[in-house]
């Protein structure tokens, strides 16, 4: 198939070159005394080629690439929105209950309508400097398992989306959440776990929570800029805000 395409392109190129030669020959036959003019205008056309490449190759293609990137970003944000609607918001509220040190920075992680890009950037820097104090002994692992394990197939399905290849941090979040679901599913009796198992789960939960918080801030910033009505709902059901509603952290519901 590739050989046929190359052969077709080669013949097309040869045909166009032959046509150009034929046209120049016909022009010379009709204007035998104007060879210098023909050469001048031919050279002028050749001299314009770099400008043509600049306009078509860089400017127009750049605009098309920008539009394509925006289109992919819109699709990606739709995927991320589906994740937070089905898994992310509820998981964030549940994992936060296991983090005893979250209260120290909780006030800096509650976006409001007055937040700007600087506020989100400051919140992400705060998260990057912070070590999560997650302890799997501090909450109800069985409830976390009941919420997360049934949604494992949903997250694995999202990993098959080719648009996620350009968003490594969100892919890392999906893998971390999926791995945590697998660890919980593997342990039938969560009430009888020993120290090493609990410590291992604490590490997995801390990893998932750190990635989730960073992506959640990006998602909130996107909602505030693009969908103010969805941002308003997300603020009113913020799982990190003790004064917000309990919708996001209520009993799990499967759609």
What is the radius of gyration, based on Cα positions, of the chain? 29
**What's this model's pTM, rounded to 2 decimal places?**
0.69
- Are 239 and 249 a contacting pair, CB within 8 Å? yes
The pLDDT score that the predictor gives to residue 2 is: 55
Structure tokens at 29: 């036959």
Residue-wise burial string across 108-124, b where 16 or more C-beta atoms lie within 10 A, e elsewhere: ebbbeeebeeeebeebe
Give percent helix, percent strand, percent coil of the chain, each to the nearest 5. 80, 0, 20
Q: Which helix (H) or strand (E) holds 139?
A: none
pLDDT band at 249 (very low <50, low <70, confident <90, very high): very low
- What is the mean predicted confidence (pLDDT) over 76-105? 86
Using one digit for the tens of pLDDT, what is the confidence trace for 139-164?
Answer: 889 999 999 999 999 998 888 887 77
The pLDDT score that the predictor gives to residue 252 is: 37
134 three-class SS: strand
The pLDDT score that the predictor gives to residue 143 is: 93
The pLDDT score that the predictor gives to residue 211 is: 92
Cα–Cα distance for residue pair 172/245, rounded to 1 Å = 29
Using one digit for the tens of pLDDT, what is the confidence trace for 96-137?
Answer: 889 888 777 777 788 888 888 888 888 888 888 887 788 889
- Are 251 and 138 a contacting pair, CB within 8 Å? no
Residues 6+ apart with CB under 8 A from 123: 108, 109, 111, 217
- Are 209 and 140 a contacting pair, CB within 8 Å? no
pLDDT at 230 over 50: yes
């Amino acid at each position: 198939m590739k050989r046929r395409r190359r052969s077709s392109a080669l013949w097309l190129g040869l045909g166009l070159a032959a046509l150009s030669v034929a046209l120049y020959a016909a022009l010379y036959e009709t204007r035998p005394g104007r060879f210098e003019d023909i050469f001048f205008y031919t050279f002028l056309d050749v001299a314009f080629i770099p400008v043509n490449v600049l306009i078509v190759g860089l400017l127009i293609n750049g605009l098309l690439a920008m539009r394509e990137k925006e289109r992919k970003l819109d699709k990606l944000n739709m995927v991320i929105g589906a994740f937070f609607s089905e898994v992310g918001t509820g998981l964030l509220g549940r994992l936060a209950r296991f983090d005893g040190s979250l209260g120290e920075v909780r006030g800096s992680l509650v976006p409001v309508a007055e937040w700007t890009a600087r506020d989100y950037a400051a919140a992400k820097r705060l998260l990057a400097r912070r070590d999560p104090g997650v302890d799997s002994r501090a909450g109800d692992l069985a409830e976390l398992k009941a919420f997360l394990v049934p949604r494992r197939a949903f997250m694995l399905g999202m990993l098959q989306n080719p648009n996620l290849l350009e968003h490594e941090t969100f892919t890392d979040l999906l893998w971390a959440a999926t791995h945590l679901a697998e660890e919980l599913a593997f342990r039938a009796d969560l009430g009888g776990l020993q120290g090493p198992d609990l410590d291992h789960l604490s590490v997995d939960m801390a990893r998932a929570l750190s990635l989730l918080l960073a992506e959640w801030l990006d998602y909130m910033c996107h909602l505030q800029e693009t969908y103010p009505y969805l941002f308003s709902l997300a603020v009113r059901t913020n799982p990190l805000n003790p004064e917000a509603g309990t919708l996001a952290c209520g009993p799990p519901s499967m759609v």
